Chains A and B, each alone.
Chain A
């Protein structure tokens, strides 16, 4: 299996621009997680999908952030408009069950820099 795939791996954009991050989970996994990691705050859960349905989006910072999962093999995280404080590494992870008892497999991350 190819593992969790994320694109792009690096993104540099200017403040105010729209940014779209993409994720392909491991085939057969029914749970998908988006995380943001910074030096100051560590790894923070943004949103969790189970069977393509958003279950917990309480970690989404504000209305500028939105996430979708139109099918079992694809998810997007969109930031519009982007701000410098959004600069971070964004990880997508997937798991079999999502109930917290099983392993989460992380993608390589997207390193976002907003100028």
Chain B
């Protein structure tokens, strides 16, 4: 089983739709979780961290399910500008120690007019 798995997509959704991505991870000791966004031929950029209690940033909501070992990203009211690849990032370390950050291969989202 891969350390971090994502559905590669593509997810093709109309403008205004709600779309959700899941990401599963294999290391139950993982403690830090993030969603990064990568536009075509650009570098990855942090979209949001994922906290145990779940967190929201505007139209974006991230949740963590430790029991089932997955994180999710929900995008409401999709915009054309949301079209990108969304990378799930998992790190088994807490603060104070280095562990290898693992990136998922990404889920491609295409928002259609």
Contact = CB atoms under 8 A, between A and B. Distances in A.
Main secondary structure of the interface of B (DSSP, over half): loop
Contacts of A33: 101
B34 to A, nearest CB: 8
A75 interface: no
A55 interface: yes
Nearest to A40: B105
**Which range contains the number of B residues in contact with the other chain?**
20 to 34
B89 to A, nearest CB: 8
B43 A101 contact: no
A56 interface: yes
Interface string B40-83: 00111110000000000000000000000000000000000000
A50 B98 contact: yes
Interface string A28-57: 000001010000011101001010000110
B32 A101 contact: yes
A58 to B, nearest CB: 8
Interface stretch (A15-23, A79-87, A104-112): A104-112
Given A91-B44, A98-B98, A101-B32, 18 more contacts: A33-B101, A35-B103, A41-B105, A42-B103, A42-B105, A45-B100, A48-B100, A50-B98, A55-B98, A97-B95, A99-B93, A99-B97, A99-B98, A99-B99, A100-B32, A100-B91, A101-B94, A104-B46
